Chain A
Amino acid sequence: MDACGCIQDDPTIPDCELLYRGIHNLQLIRPGNTVSSAAFKSKTNPHVSVDLSSLSTPEETHRRRPSDVGVVELVAGTVRTITPGVVRRPVEGNPAHALIIRDFGLSKGQREKVARKLAKASVWAIAPKE
């Protein structure tokens, strides 16, 4: 965080780092199995939870989720072209936990665009159980 308490991009996370995110099977759009932007929104969390690939694997991220949740990966460098960046936020039991900075003073409509762009940048690592 900076002096004003704002969350800031962590430059120690390289652009080539992969970010793993859990996606519920009701957040898939078929045909095509594309990811809904709903997977990158929340009514309660201002930022998007991910796991860092340098400290986790898709399988480990998957194991921390319910069985009908799959895992997508995003490239940190791509995420930085959409949002202000990524920050480490380890939690108990998951040192790989990080946040994509989503809430940075945008209007609700602009936040929709950010979520849509993040969804389109997602690539499946583990498809949700069908």
Chain B
Amino acid sequence: MTMIACPRLDSIFTTLRGRDECVEEQAYSIDTASKPQPFWRLTQVQAITAVPDASADGNEWIEKVLRLLHRVAELPYNWDGEGSPRPDPGIVSAVKGLLDRLQDSRLGAIPVAFVCPVGGGGIQLEWSSSGKHLEIEFMDVSTIVFLKEELTPQGESMASGEYPLANVESTRQLLDWFAAV
């Protein structure tokens, strides 16, 4: 199995993991009702609601996606009631690796992606806006399958395909397509 090394994002990921453990330890002493809470104290659903609505310029969205990825990566066995394992660590690394490489790209204003678990240990990133929808699924540690959908005057237009994860330019082009007005 090929693992993609991305020390910068690994560091953020490790920090997030540490924060969650910290919250669990301090759960009995924190007054959570009276003050706004940092993201790592939000419940899973609150965090999902709060983050993807926000638009982000440049690469700001990538760190937010990492927070969501952290939540998905921590799902327990049988999270779907159908016996699914937690997301494959190799795929989690592949997602982080892609995000790391995208951080070096010049992208337009990209909304924060939703990070969705796929049964059997997969992960999908998904963007939706009025009129456009984009999803990229990590089939394994080396392949991405995408679907893009657009509402046109002629109706809904849907296209899909697959490409190697190593081909970051393809992901960049999909994100550029999504960001274009």
Q: Does B121 contact A (CB under 8 A)?
A: yes
User: Which of B43, B45, B79, B121 contacts A43 (CB under 8 A)?
Assistant: B121
Please determine whether B145 and A112 come into contact, CB atoms closer than 8 angstroms.
yes
Identity of the chain B residue whose Cβ is nearest the Cβ of A30 in the assembled complex: B49
B141, chain A: closest CB distance, angstroms: 12
Please determine whether A43 and B48 come into contact, CB atoms closer than 8 angstroms.
no
Identity of the chain A residue whose Cβ is nearest the Cβ of B72 in the assembled complex: A26
Distance of A29 Cα from B139 Cα, bound (Å): 20
User: Which of B78, B117, B146 contacts A26 (CB under 8 A)?
Assistant: B117
Distance of A113 Cα from B160 Cα, bound (Å): 7
Please determine whether B119 and A26 come into contact, CB atoms closer than 8 angstroms.
no
Identity of the chain A residue whose Cβ is nearest the Cβ of B75 in the assembled complex: A26
Please determine whether B81 and A108 come into contact, CB atoms closer than 8 angstroms.
no
Please determine whether A108 and B119 come into contact, CB atoms closer than 8 angstroms.
no
Distance of A31 Cα from B78 Cα, bound (Å): 26
Please determine whether A36 and B124 come into contact, CB atoms closer than 8 angstroms.
yes
User: In residues 95-112 of chain A, which contact B (Cβ within 8 Å)?
Assistant: 108-112
Given contacts A29-B128, A36-B126, contact A43 B120 (CB under 8 A): yes
Q: Which of A42, A43, A64, A69 has the most CB of B within 10 A?
A: A43
List residues of chain A with CB within 8 A of the CB of B162: 108-109
List residues of chain A with CB within 8 A of the CB of B88: 43
Given contacts A25-B45, A36-B126, A116-B149, contact A45 B119 (CB under 8 A): yes
Q: Does B147 contact A (CB under 8 A)?
A: yes
User: In residues 66-85 of chain B, which contact A (Cβ within 8 Å)?
Assistant: 71-72, 75, 78-82, 84
Residues of B at under 8 Å CB distance from A? 43-46, 48-49, 52-53, 71-72, 75, 78-82, 84, 88, 114-122, 124, 126, 128, 133, 135, 137, 139, 145-147, 149, 158, 160-162
Residues of A at under 8 Å CB distance from B? 22, 24-31, 34, 36-39, 41-45, 49, 64-66, 68-69, 108-113, 116, 128, 130
